[in-house]
Structure 1
Amino acid sequence: MSVELNHTIVAAKDKRESAEFLARILGLEVGAEMGPFLPVQTANGVTLDFATVPEEHITTQHYAFLISEAEFDAAFARIRQAGIPYWADPRRERPGQINRNDGGRGLYFMDPSDQAMEIITRPYGSGADPAA
């Protein structure tokens, strides 16, 4: 039996705001509300089910999305157009920059509920180290 990630719950201050934010940046659709969840499905079938929870119950998680070069260009343009802060690194020490890890491009940004989002064009460990 193969194992696949099917869905995960994303804690949000406002599920609609966070789901629409991510869908807009990634060029995806927000699905129909299902009980307490508002889903955003990725191309490989994984669904992020956004749920509104009390702010004190939100713990920042990291969500990384592998996208094509063209999708990166579009998402990066939407991030810049919206004035969303972004970083080249997860510690947010390189603001306003992108990284070139493994010969691709990547960046990190925060969603409205302070969830850490990342877009990359190459999986980690798949290419040349730019520092080498």
Structure 2
Amino acid sequence: MKSSRMQWISLVLVMLGAAPACSQNGGEPQGTGIVASAPVELREGEQKFNANCSLCHGIGGVGTTHGPAFLHKVYEPNHHGDEAFQRAAANGVKAHHWQFGDMPKIDAVKPGDVDHIVKYVRWLQKQAGIF
């Protein structure tokens, strides 16, 4: 089962890499889509993000046609604090900034996982000059 899941994840990653990342960002820059490798201390968050979030939010948080980019000022810590990510994973989110539809809760992602994911996302945002 683990092998088939890894194959599925690999297929999704290839498909995401082949398709242009697209989000409704109000004209704000999203970065180049070229993401440096995360520092060692953030690799767990990167892996959890790629496994659980990237299908909608894109590899490196650049967004897709299914979900918004996290490399947008609206997701900076002063607007969407770290706790907002915890609530989103646990409860889902009603669409309020974008036209992607509601985000479902993500049962596979536990609070400790979200902590790692948020640290990785904040690093991506710093790399992109969001804050």
- Fold-level similarity (TM above 0.5): no
* Structure with larger RCO (C-alpha < 8 A, sep 6+): 2
More helix by share: 2
What TM-score comes out, normalization by structure 2 length? Answer: 0.29
Higher Rg: 1
What TM-score comes out, normalization by structure 1 length? Answer: 0.29
